[in-house]
Amino acid sequence: MTDLPGRRLLLVHAHPDDESINNGATMAKYAAEGALVTLVTCTLGEEGEVIPPGLAHLAADRDDALGGHRVGELAAAMKELGVTDHRFLGGAGRYRDSGMMGAPQNERPHCFWRADVDEAAAYLVEVIREVRPQVLVTYDPHGGYGHPDHVQAHRVAMRAVELAAEKAFRRDLGEPHEIAKVYWNCVPRSVAEEGFARLREAAAAGAAVPFPGVAALDDVPGVVPDEEVTAAPRTAPYVAAKAAAMRAHATQVVVDGHFFALSNELSQPLFADEFYRLVRGRAGGPGREDDLFAGLGLPGPDFTGPDGGAGGAGAGAGEGAC
């Protein structure tokens, strides 16, 4: 890639939908500010459940056409976020969705869970050396909630960060590149607790509870003690874009105001603020960073919105912000 934008963010995710659920507002914010936002998704989500009854035929145990359908859902979600650079690791279909931990699909030869980490990381090194991001975001070692593809996405991403910088590694994949800052997705426990408190208050007030059940707080991926959170970029103005992107993943997610549910029909808070833990590189100052690019001496946003913060296509008071 030539003439790269000044600020470049790379996100590594397991399935189509994870990017919107975990980082949708962050992606919309930085895309609106003129940064290059690149998403690499490791599988097509072929083994997912299907929420809309009319699409049930897509499921792996019927037409096995869900992967192709979710490619389209991801493209629609990226349009909502203003993200134009999204790729599949090794090309669409190179690695198949492994199913939930312990499922028989974990044993399939070309599922992502059984991938050789170095081989998969080499595909990501090629992207890193092309895009040359200053910041990378992925899951913690538990993959947020223990899904095998999430755990493997973490392993492949962290291995690729190392290999991309190695001068002796595969120069055919491009010039070495050191990513300055690596973050893992997380949610401060106090924010998760407040989100579920809102849900209980709504139910107690007789509001129609959006979904039949309520998830457990620890079902929220990546909940950590507040003090472990090191960055909270100002993403709340982009919650509407996040909600729209999540809705685009219609086989996997249903959004209702402040809340959403996956195919398990358990309500979870839809967070407007998104949080991160810096695990590699230097923080941009004391306390929580309010910008993932802080401390890198890069030009700021290409423009600022009327609120003096970052404005842009995705900005606007979200219909529901937790």
Q: Which residue ranges are tagged as binding site?
A: 15, 18, 150
Task: Tell the smallest beta-carbon distance from residue 22 to ligand LKMZNTP5 (Å).
Answer: 9
Pairing of strands 266-269, 259-261: antiparallel
Q: Which of 7, 9, 10, 17 binds ligand LKMZNTP5 (CB under 6 A)?
A: 17
Query: Which part of the chain contacts ligand LKMZNTP5 (CB under 6 A), choosing from 31-39, 44-52, 178-186, 276-284?
Result: 44-52
264 binds, among ligand LKMZNTP5, Zn ion, none (CB under 5 to 8 A by kind): ligand LKMZNTP5
The phi-psi region of residue 17 (left if phi > 0; otherwise alpha if psi is between -120 and 50; otherwise beta) is left
For the chain, how many residues are written? 322
Query: Which part of the chain contacts Zn ion (CB under 5 A), choosing from 7-15, 24-32, 129-137, 233-241?
Result: 7-15
Task: Tell the smallest beta-carbon distance from residue 69 to ligand LKMZNTP5 (Å).
Answer: 12
143 binds ligand LKMZNTP5 (CB under 6 A): no
Q: Which of 18, 73, 80, 289 binds Zn ion (CB under 5 A)?
A: 18
Query: Which part of the chain contacts ligand LKMZNTP5 (CB under 6 A), choosing from 46-54, 81-89, 117-125, 312-320?
Result: 46-54
Place of tokens 């913690």: 140
Rounded distance, CA 294 to CA 282, Å? 9
310 binds, among ligand LKMZNTP5, Zn ion, none (CB under 5 to 8 A by kind): none
Phi and psi at residue 84, to the nearest 5°? -110, -10
Q: Which of 20, 29, 45, 151 binds ligand LKMZNTP5 (CB under 6 A)?
A: 45
Task: Tell the smallest beta-carbon distance from residue 33 to Zn ion (Å).
Answer: 26
Q: What is the CA radius of gyration of the chain?
A: 19
Which strands, in side-by-side order, build the sheet including 259-261?
213-214, 266-269, 259-261, 254-256
SS (HEC) of 7-57: CEEEEEECCCCHHHHHHHHHHHHHHHCCCEEEEEECCCCCCCCCCCHHHHH
Q: Are 155 and 143 in contact (CB under 8 A)?
A: no
Place of tokens 């590149």: 177
Work out whether the CA dihedral 179, 180, 184, 185 comes out positive or negative. Answer: negative
Q: State which amino acid sits at residue 270.
A: L
The residue with its CB nearest to ligand LKMZNTP5 is 48
Phi and psi at residue 176, to the nearest 5°? -50, 145
Task: Tell the smallest beta-carbon distance from residue 49 to ligand LKMZNTP5 (Å).
Answer: 4
Minimum CB distance to ligand LKMZNTP5 smaller for 48 or for 90? 48
Task: Tell the smallest beta-carbon distance from residue 197 to ligand LKMZNTP5 (Å).
Answer: 23
Place of tokens 């969705």: 97
Pairing of strands 135-138, 85-88: unpaired
Task: Tell the smallest beta-carbon distance from residue 227 to Zn ion (Å).
Answer: 27
Annotated binding site for Zn(2+): 15, 18, 150
Instruction: With residue 269 as reference, give the H or E element that holds it.
Output: strand 266-269
100 binds, among ligand LKMZNTP5, Zn ion, none (CB under 5 to 8 A by kind): ligand LKMZNTP5
Binding mask 77-106 for ligand LKMZNTP5 (x = CB under 6 A): --------------------x-xx------
Task: Tell the smallest beta-carbon distance from residue 143 to ligand LKMZNTP5 (Å).
Answer: 9
Q: Are 118 and 34 in contact (CB under 8 A)?
A: no
Q: Which of 15, 69, 154, 181 binds Zn ion (CB under 5 A)?
A: 15
47 binds, among Zn ion, ligand LKMZNTP5, none (CB under 5 to 8 A by kind): ligand LKMZNTP5
